[in-house]
Amino acid sequence: MQELGMKGSVFHIRFDEQGNGVHFRGNESIEFLVQTNLGQDMRPLRKIASGGELSRVSLAIAVCTNSDRNIPTLVYDEVDVGISGAVASSVGEKLKQLSNKNQIICITHLAQVASHGNHHFKVNKIQKDDETRTSITKLTEEERKFELARILSGAQVNEKSLAAASELIQESA
């Protein structure tokens, strides 16, 4: 979590015995506790974590436990919520690290995250005749560079944004 833009954060797992008897879900309840900022108290993750923090805690757990389990596919939907810059690059690096043993499917809106992928797909929604359709297209290397440039610069892709996209891809390789 320290490397994912949550400096000073602490994570604990609390086990509380349910008491005597047989219980459908076991004899203990489990709660994830987190301190997201220095000086704060440990609080239940489900109560205080933002979407971005929750995604990054999930990613940190996956990285830490990856050698212990064989999970063939991990899906991260907008793991980039609430982050940017260097933290986004760290998230991309961690996802790439996980991809050494797992298939990673990551929906992202940040070029710093997308540049670390081995493959890049573009999802388009098309509205026509009161109907919405979705298409998914695997991008070529040139299309990937253009898409990363578009993410970086918005609607106007230019030489500078294409150069920045190329640099991100090279740095992430």
Domains and CATH numbers, the chain: 1-105 (3.40.50.300), 119-173 (no CATH)
Mean pLDDT across the stretch 5-11? Answer: 85
Q: What is the total residue count of the chain?
A: 173
Picking from 64-68, 82-86, 108-112, 146-150, which range would have the lowest pLDDT averaged per residue?
64-68
pLDDT of residue 115: 96
Picking from 24-33, 95-104, 107-116, 125-134, which range would have the lowest pLDDT averaged per residue?
24-33
pLDDT of residue 159: 95
Q: How many other CB atoms are found less than 10 A from the CB of residue 80?
A: 23
Which residues lie closer than 8 Å to 133 by C-beta, 6 or more apart?
Answer: 125, 126, 127
Strand partners, 77: 107
Separation CA 88–CA 116 (nearest Å):
10
Q: Which stretch of DSSP H or E encloses residue 43? A: strand 43-44
Phi, psi of 137 (to 5 degrees): -125, 130
Q: Give 10-28 pLDDT, tens digit per residue.
A: 999 998 887 777 777 778 8
Helices 159-172, 141-153: crossing angle, 10 deg rounding: 120
Closest by Cα among 77, 40, 41, 39 to 58: 77
Between 125 and 39, residue with greater pLDDT: 125
* Predicted model pTM: 0.75
Separation CA 160–CA 88 (nearest Å):
20
Q: What is the mean pLDDT of the chain?
A: 87
Mapping DSSP to helix (H, G, I), strand (E, B) and coil, where does residue 143 land? Answer: helix
Mean pLDDT across the stretch 149-161? Answer: 92
Q: Give 56-83 pLDDT, tens digit per residue.
A: 888 888 888 776 567 788 888 878 887 8
pLDDT of residue 75: 86
CA atoms within 13 A on the CB side of 170: 6
pLDDT band at 168 (very low <50, low <70, confident <90, very high): very high
Between 86 and 164, residue with greater pLDDT: 164
pLDDT of residue 21: 73
